[in-house]
Structures are given as structure tokens and as C-alpha cells.
Structure 1
Amino acid sequence: MTESIGWYVHHHGRGHLTRLLSIAPHVDADIRCFSSLPRPDMLPFHCTWTMVDRDDEVAGDGGDPRDADPTAGGLLHWAPLGHRGHRGRMSAIVASLADDPVDAFVVDVSVEVTLLVRLLGFRVVLIAQPGARDDSAHHLAFQAATTIVAPWPRSLLEPAHLAAFGNKTVYTGGISRYEARLATPPPTSPRGDDIVVLGGAGGSAVSGGDIASAAQATGRRWHDLGATPDATWSADPWGELTTAGAVVSWAGQNAIADLAAAETPAIVIPQERPFAEQRETARALEQAGLAIVIPEWPERSAWSSLIERATNLRPDWDRWEVRGAAARAARAICETAGGCR
């Protein structure tokens, strides 16, 4: 039976780490994590954490990795020539696996780590993302992976780039950190009038002034939960999600899964991300009638109508398949590894 799982956690934003923390409690095996992020305070007891070097910072000699052929002529996404941080992080993973092999290795996300681990002869579980990922580097990673985990419902979003890999792709439904709280359903009493803006660590072009202007236009209290640099980050916005009249959110995978868990009326504004991943997610939500979707932050005069439309929406968030999603992801990982204890 499986004794050990490796897990690479990408350092951009908070979503990859949040996904690990949601799935790990369902994996009955030791998990060895590798990331440039600091060790999280709430790391489960059966997980260890190895902090690896950053590969996207200017080198000590002043060299910018963006100028060091990081894509190898389009074959890869990020492997800058001569960069000490890149070499150090890859070497740390190799050294760990050489001394103490794992039964499978989860990559969330990196084409280069996927290929590295597969070249070392380990089964790879690659966490997929939506968007236009039909480039050669992504295709190479999908080919190399043993299993692909897509953390959203197949019935609502089946990207073209995964169509050729349907035999090894597991669509789990949206993975939310709040799934465990679904044993106690969200309040059924009428929601309040407050509006919550749910941001993410990936950045946006929205300012505090934009939110203040929208609040004045609607005559409601607005709460900025991480949407702008000046906002106070909320580590646990469950209370706000379950009581707000509506939530204005970006279209990141974790944010949408949390909205689904809280059954929240939402206005979704996809942000610019690589490969247009948020725009594809937003289109799926709009087609399914789960949220009001707009392409960008609107003019002040549009907000009253948008809020009214959102509060009158009755989304069937069960269609995002949050219940059991983390366990389904864990099962796919364990089955790839040969079965967990």
C-alpha cells in the first residue's frame, strides 16, 4: 500500500496551497511537500514541508531570468538558463526523491516539475487548470502525467485541451476549503444588504476607490476582502459569504468553489491570468446560470442594476459538485499510487 506521496505547490497566489490543505486530510499516506512558499501554519500532521529556492527572481549577478531563454524555444514554460534558483529547486526535488522514493507525485502546477519527476521514473498526478492550454509545453506535460485531476465539474466545463486525455482525466468538481462545513447548511434566513468583494492573491486592476464609488452608488456597505492591495486579508470569510446580499468575486478555481459551498449570489469578474483561465471559468458559470458575469469592473452607474440582478438570482450551486470533491481528488491520487493505507 502507498506509504508516501510527493507534492509540488506552486508559489503564485494562494490557490495551489489552499487546494493542498483541502485534499491532504483525505490522503491516508505521508505527504512530502515542495514549494517556494513558507511552511503554512495549518499543515496537516502527516505532511512535511521543504522550502525550495525561487526561480523567478533576478539572479545575484543581476541577470533577469526572463532574458535567459526560459521557454527553451517554446518547448517549456520556465527553465531559465544559468539561474541558480531554478537549478537549486530542481536539485532539491531530485535529491529528496533519490534518497527516499515516493509512490506518486502530485504537481500543482508546473510543466517542468512534471517532466522532471516523470524522467526520474515516478507516477505523476497533474492538477489541471482551465483556459487555452493547447501549447506544446502543456501538451507535453499532459502526455507525461499518469493521471490528470481537473478540479471542476465535467458537465459544465470540459476544456478542449483535455479532450485527448479523457481516459486519464478525473473531474472532481470544485474543491472548497469549506466542504467540511456543509454538514451544517448555510443559513436559510434572508441575506443581509452588505456586499462582499472577494479577491485573491493573484492581483487585479481594481482599486479601493473603485469599491468606494460602487458603495456610494448602491447605498450599501461594501467589504473588501483581499481584492485590493490596501484591503485587510480575511483568512476565513465563510461568515461573510453566507450572509452577504451578494458577493463580487474574481473567477479563480478556489473562489468559485467557495461561492458554491456557501450558495452565494455572485457577480463574477474574471481577471487577466495566463492562458485566460478565469475567462473560461466565467463563461461556464454564465452558461450554467450560476452567476452574473461581466468582463470587467463596470461604470459606477451600472452597479445598482447588477446588484439587483445578483440578489434575485437563485443559482443551483450543487451543479459545481463541491460535496465530495476533495475526497474524489484524494482517491485519484491514491489509485495512481497503488492504493493508500
Structure 2
Amino acid sequence: MRIGYYAHHHGSGHCRQADKLAALLPIEWQQQLTVFTSLPVDAYRFTTLTEAQIIRLNPEDELAEDVLAGRAGQYWQPAALHYSPVGNSDIQKRSWQILATIQQRQIELMIIDVSAEVAMLCRACSVPYLYVRLPGERDDTAHISAFTGAIGLLAPYPRALEATMTPAWVTNKTLYLDFLSATNSDPLTYKAFLQRLVDLALATEQAEVKSLIDSTSVGDSKQQNQPLIVTVIKGYGGHQAIDAKLPALRQALPEALILSLGPISDEVRQYVDIATEVDDVTPFIAHSDWLLMACGLNAIAQVYRYDTPLVVLPDPRPHREQEVMAEALIAEGRALSWQQFIRQLAAGRVQSTPSLQVPLTVEVPLNKHSISKAADNQATATAQTFMDSLVAYSGNKQWFQQWLLPQLQLTPDT
């Protein structure tokens, strides 16, 4: 089947997910995939797909000549759409781009990640689509309409992290693809990781940090006299809220080696030992004693297979997207909230001096997630089975009836 993938332009995660799924296809079938997005070419570089396979859509911003604004009010705004300016020439053109490409390239199935408006466009034009479900409270009319209009739903996370408030009919209609790791790189050895920290300390003129690491760097495993390493990982979508916790973190763990990856506010740099940006956070995930981070889907996908203790600091997002993910991780025993972490510090459950480094304990037992490739392989196998099915069937009706419905154990009402 020829597949179309709509990737929303908010952040690069939607395009990245399309890229990761495309990589699971045989090379000759990768060329059958078309991605629709209004994300600029310099915002994300596809590694699997060529630019000829990317349809760069017109933007959907409001224009001065619009007849009605995108959110015009109760009696002017269809409840099945989140955003729908009237008379907007860019949105008219992007809709024509989508439909013309579907016709020209004979696309048989759309994967929509994510847009209630594109979902309704496809349903109104009788184009079958799968809708990607993100975490959060998505019980508004527009989301429910998009879910209902889909021939199936895709969740790019494990079923274990499904929100408890999700209706049964939604979960029953969902294929859970699990997390696909954002990187295939092997983590550095612990010794090489410490050398990386030394290099970063030199680059940021932190001689005392280099001295501390050098004085405790022996062998290729963590030593009893080595400092607690706490890594704070941040993106560009709201790092100020996490930065605001750095003074309390430093006060609670004065002897710890605190690393800040990503943007940082100037007024809190004094509370961390190294502040930098890196292309690959995998070594820091693998070798830190604690991770503090928000709950973006791609970020959690990277850390989920490791047993490194995690403190979740969700950013405010529409539909409580990160808060719901944080709640699921805490309920599963995979993470602590900031409040739980601070309580453990106050109770002395987390050792804070270099001479007392022992295996850490937490109030909620952490599940052990393999640092080997086993968890990655299992997650990839789930998505691989799904992508293989798209190749195995020559038509969308046959695939829907013979593969998708048996997977979901559903029969549409007639």
C-alpha cells in the first residue's frame, strides 16, 4: 500500500516519528511513503526519506483577510475542529495540496500525527486514516470525532502507560506501538563517560569539576568515592520551570555533580557544575545516578528502557499531555515526582556525600528496564509488525479486514 503521513509542525517530534517508522520499511517500500508537513526543512532533517517524498504544506496561521478567526466562538466554531479560520487562502491551498497529492500518488492510507482538521478532511473525502493518539486528556469533541472517524488508532507508547481515564472503546481501537528509541547509538562505557565530563569541564572552564572527576576516576565502573551524578535534561519548550528547581536541588545535594543539558537561565548557572548542550544524551541517561526531566514523548522514549532513577517535571501542555504521562510513569513505579524526591532527600533516603555512594533506594520500587538492546528490540518488533503489515497487503480493504480488525479484535457495527 502507498502510505501518507501527516506530521504536525509543532516541534520536530512528529516528523521524527515518521522517520523512525519509515526506517522499518524495506528500502524499496520507503519510497512509497509520503510525508505531509508545514515544518520548515531546516527544523528537521529526515534521515530515511528524501526531500522528494516530503510535501511542504502551506502554513495554517491566521491572515488579516480571514473572514472568521480560527477560534471564532461557540456559534461560529464547529466543535469537531480545534482551529478553522474561514477564508484563509493558505489553509485552502494546503488542503488542495493534501488531496491532490493523495490522488496523484494513489495514497491508500493516511497516518495522521496529529490534526483533527486533517482527520475530518480525510473522512469527508472518504480517505481511510489511522490517527496517532498522544498522551493526555483528549476527551473534547474534536479529538473524539477524529478518533471515531479513524479506521484505527496508533499510540506511540506502551500500553502500560495508558491513562486510566481513557475510555475502553478508545483503547480497544488502539494499536500500541511502544516507544521507538530516538537514537541507535551505544552508550559510552562509564570510564569514557567520565572522560567526556572532564572534556566538558575543560570546555566550560570548570577546573574544580575536572579535578573532582580525575580524583575519583578509577577503572570502568562506578567507585565508592565518586560523587552522585544528577543530570537535568531540558528542551526549548519550557526549561524555565525546571531551572527554577535548581537552587533547591543544589541545596539538597551540595556535594553532587549536577549537570544541565539544554538551555539554562543565566541566573541559575551557579547551581550546576556543568551546563552544556549535547547531540546525544544517551551516555548521560545510562550513567547518571538520577535524571530530572520533563515528560515529552520523545524524551521519555529515550529513557524508558534504562533503570536510571527518574524524577519527572512535566511542562504545562494542552490537554495535560505531560502531566498525564508523568502520572502514568509514577503509577508504574518507573519515576518519582519532584515532591516524592524531595521527601526522600529530607528523610535521608538519598545519599548526598561522595563518601556514601551506595545503590539508591526509592519509596516506589523501580522496574528494571534492560540497558541492553532487549527492550529496544521488543518495542521495535511491535512497530515492525505493524509496518510489515502495510507491505504485505496490496489493498487497504484487505489489510483492514484481514490484519487490523483481528489485531484489535473488533468488528465495526453494521
Shorter-chain TM range is 0.7 to 0.9
- Asked if structure 2 preserves the Cα contact closer than 8 Å seen for 1:6 and 1:106, the reply is yes
- Match of residue 52 from structure 1: 57
Alpha-carbon distance change, 162 to 310 in structure 1, aligned in 2, over 3 angstroms: farther
- Match of residue 146 from structure 1: 151
- Where in structure 2 are the equivalents of 1:52-201 lying within 5 Å? 52-55=57-60, 57-61=61-65, 65-68=69-72, 72-178=77-183, 180-181=184-185, 189-190=221-222, 193-201=228-236
- Asked if structure 1 preserves the Cα contact closer than 8 Å seen for 2:232 and 2:260, the reply is yes
Q: 1:339 offset after TM fit, Å?
A: 3.3
Alpha-carbon distance change, 226 to 84 in structure 1, aligned in 2, over 3 angstroms: farther
Please give the secondary structure, in 2, of the residue aligned with 1:26. Answer: coil
- Match of residue 312 from structure 1: 361
Q: Could you tell which deviates more after superposition, 250-259 or 196-205?
A: 196-205
Please give the secondary structure, in 2, of the residue aligned with 1:324. Answer: helix
Alpha-carbon distance change, 43 to 294 in structure 1, aligned in 2, over 3 angstroms: same
Partner of residue 38 from structure 1, selected from 37, 40, 43: 40
Please give the secondary structure, in 2, of the residue aligned with 1:155. Answer: helix
Q: Which has the higher contact order (CA 8 A, sep 6+)?
A: 1
Percent identity of paired positions between Structure 1 and Structure 2: 25
Q: 1:66 offset after TM fit, Å?
A: 4.6
Q: Which amino acid aligns with 1:255?
A: A
Q: Which amino acid aligns with 2:241?
A: V
Cα distance per residue 1:151-172 (max 9 Å; x no partner): 2222342554352134431112
- Asked if structure 2 preserves the Cα contact closer than 8 Å seen for 1:241 and 1:262, the reply is yes
Counterparts of 1:237 and 1:64 in 2: how far apart (Å)?
45
Cα distance per residue 1:45-64 (max 9 Å; x no partner): 46722221221x34255999
Q: Could you tell which deviates more after superposition, 188-197 or 105-114?
A: 188-197
Partner of residue 250 from structure 1, selected from 277, 294, 303: 294
- Match of residue 20 from structure 1: 18
Counterparts of 1:164 and 1:74 in 2: how far apart (Å)?
21
Please give the secondary structure, in 2, of the residue aligned with 1:125. Answer: strand
Cα distance per residue 1:138-193 (max 9 Å; x no partner): 11111111221112222342554352134431112223213x457x7986933963
- Asked if structure 1 preserves the Cα contact closer than 8 Å seen for 2:68 and 2:86, the reply is no
Alpha-carbon distance change, 232 to 79 in structure 1, aligned in 2, over 3 angstroms: farther
Partner of residue 260 from structure 2, selected from 211, 224, 227: 224
**Superposition TM-score, scaled by structure 1 size:** 0.81
Alpha-carbon distance change, 73 to 115 in structure 1, aligned in 2, over 3 angstroms: closer
Alpha-carbon distance change, 267 to 338 in structure 1, aligned in 2, over 3 angstroms: same
Counterparts of 1:64 and 1:208 in 2: how far apart (Å)?
40
Unpaired segments ≥5 residues, structure 1: none
Counterparts of 1:83 and 1:229 in 2: how far apart (Å)?
38
Q: 1:228 offset after TM fit, Å?
A: 4.4
- Asked if structure 1 preserves the Cα contact closer than 8 Å seen for 2:315 and 2:323, the reply is yes
Q: Could you tell which deviates more after superposition, 186-195 or 33-42?
A: 186-195
- Asked if structure 1 preserves the Cα contact closer than 8 Å seen for 2:136 and 2:163, the reply is no
Please give the secondary structure, in 1, of the residue aligned with 2:169. Answer: helix
- Asked if structure 1 preserves the Cα contact closer than 8 Å seen for 2:306 and 2:369, the reply is no
Q: Could you tell which deviates more after superposition, 119-128 or 203-212?
A: 203-212
- Match of residue 316 from structure 2: 272
Q: 1:292 offset after TM fit, Å?
A: 0.9
Counterparts of 2:82 and 2:108 in 1: how far apart (Å)?
26
Counterparts of 1:185 and 1:168 in 2: how far apart (Å)?
40
Residue 214 (structure 1) aligned with residue 216 (structure 2): no
**Superposition TM-score, scaled by structure 2 size:** 0.68
Counterparts of 1:17 and 1:217 in 2: how far apart (Å)?
39
Counterparts of 1:117 and 1:62 in 2: how far apart (Å)?
23
Counterparts of 1:232 and 1:133 in 2: how far apart (Å)?
35
Larger Rg: 2
Cα distance per residue 1:254-303 (max 9 Å; x no partner): 2112111333211001221111121221111111111112379989x979
Counterparts of 1:202 and 1:270 in 2: how far apart (Å)?
11
- Match of residue 259 from structure 1: 303
- Asked if structure 2 preserves the Cα contact closer than 8 Å seen for 1:291 and 1:315, the reply is yes
Alignment: residue pair count: 335
Counterparts of 1:296 and 1:92 in 2: how far apart (Å)?
50
